[in-house]
Amino acid sequence: MGVPQIPEQLTRGYWQAHKGMIAKMAGYTGISDSMDDVQNAYDAVNWELFDTDKAEKAARNYGIEAFDAQFVRARAEYPKVTELRTKLYELRDRAQEAEKRFRETLLIPASSRRLAGDIAVVAEHFAVELRSMDILWAHSREALVQQFEDWLKIIGITMKTIEQHALTISLLPNPEAELLRKEAQQKCCSVYIYFRARADLRGQLMDDWKEVAQESWYKVPDGQAVRDKARELQLLVARSLVFLAGFAA
């Protein structure tokens, strides 16, 4: 979920532009002032802390604990969201009162009455949406954990592909370093990113995969040096698969 935005119907400009001239003459409703209170309360919140899209991106790069740390910061900021919800309910109440008053005045058109009623509904819905943030964070975290588990299967396939390419290249009469790089480097990058995103695995194999993900690792003379590199990859894959098998057991 990205940053929630105040619905246009809850802004002073929208109310002033759509309530109608006769409704403007009906006396003070407090709706515009209440909308200003909503805007001020909204502006007081550091909404970047509630951006689960950014938190999920951080988790994919630095681990699930990065997501959890962002959630802790969001919870600390949440009292300001509670204040915003209070202002939204105040706006709802004022809009409902205005709708009732407009119904009692036959000169005020039905469109103005409906507008006040719609504002009350939108204000309440937005307040409820903001209340559900904890649920949204929990769902996002569950989805991330499942994604990491799915990645584990994909990474296993990727590593076996690296192993097969490395074996094939090592059997060539004069294996070329550039061929090994083209077949392995990007796949090694994927494996490295996976280990980096898993705090529970990071300390085991991340540094080894980071090394083979670097282009400089493949800058060796053609021939035996390439065979040696290919065998290093095969050994790293074998060690990684054994470790992951034990980890998943």
Question: Residue-wise pLDDT tens for the chain (249 aa)?
Answer: 567 899 999 999 998 888 766 556 566 788 999 999 999 999 999 988 888 888 888 877 777 788 888 888 888 888 999 999 999 999 999 999 988 888 887 777 788 788 889 999 999 999 998 887 777 787 888 888 788 778 788 888 999 999 999 999 999 999 999 999 999 999 999 999 888 877 777 777 889 999 999 999 999 999 999 999 999 999 999 999 888 887 655
Query: Residue ranges per domain, the chain?
Result: 8-131, 146-248
User: Backbone phi, then psi, for 29, in 5-degree steps?
Assistant: -110, -20
Count how many residues are written for the chain. Answer: 249
Query: Could you give the count of Cα atoms lying within 13 Å of 161 in the half-sphere of its Cβ?
Result: 15
- CA pair distance 128, 43, nearest whole angstrom: 18
pTM: 0.61
